[in-house]
Copies of this chain bind each other. A is one copy, B any other.
Amino acid sequence: MSRPRKSTHIREKLISEGTELLKLKGYHGTGIKEILDRVNVPKGSFYNFFESKEKYVAEIIENYNMEVLKEVDTFIEKSSRNPLEKIINAYSYVIKEIEKTGLTGCLVGNLAAELGDSSKECLFQMKNGVKLWKSRFVSLFQEAQEKNLLRKDISAENMADIFWNSWQGGLLRMKIEGNTEQLEMILDKLLNTLFRN
């Protein structure tokens, strides 16, 4: 097996360190210098890897979307056969992960709040993030409706959207209130009461 090139390795480290810092400090609060220092790369070499900060962050979002999708797919695959339980299990796992790793929230949501439409490159990737998430979850909600687990007077797409939106708001509450109570409440009240048949 050939060893990966050193530059590929540095590029990957810049992406992963950047992801963490962006989650924590946002777009404008994250300095390129801080990331370079962390990865131990000399100042000035950043532009050998990325054309601009904007393109760098857009690539970070793209990478984040793919990671999330991969995790979701693995989880859905190995989890219970019941589509509703798949959703509940996946998000209960997310809450546990958040409690373990820190209350930083969702990269797409955070950057959307901060950047709005000020960066076309990032916006494209944020939009794609929502689309990819929906590509998995609308089907699960639909399957749960077909199995009579969920009500049918609202569409599976609307359910998925309300779930995504509430969750993002719940992540803001988590940041404001310093706990995951709202996330747990959302998971319970939407999936066990409001969406139920």
Q: What is A's interface to B at a CB cutoff of 8 Å?
A: 24-29, 103-105, 108-110, 112-118, 123, 126-127, 130, 153-154, 158, 161-162, 164-173, 175-178, 182, 185-186, 189-190, 193-195
Contact = CB atoms under 8 A, between A and B. Distances in A.
A194 B176 CA distance: 26
Nearest to A102: B116
Copies of this chain in its oligomeric complex: 2
A123 B169 contact: no
B24 A116 contact: yes
A41 to B, nearest CB: 23
A145 to B, nearest CB: 14
Given A109-B172, A126-B176, A173-B130, A29 B114 contact: yes
A118 B21 CA distance: 13
Nearest to A165: B169
Contacts of A103: 116-117
A166 to B, nearest CB: 5
A191 to B, nearest CB: 12
29 contacts: A24-B116, A26-B114, A28-B29, A105-B113, A105-B116, A109-B169, A110-B114, A112-B113, A112-B175, A112-B176, A113-B113, A113-B114, A114-B114, A116-B175, A130-B173, A161-B182, A161-B185, A162-B185, A162-B186, A162-B190, A164-B169, A164-B173, A165-B165, A165-B167, A165-B170, A165-B182, A165-B186, A166-B166, A169-B169
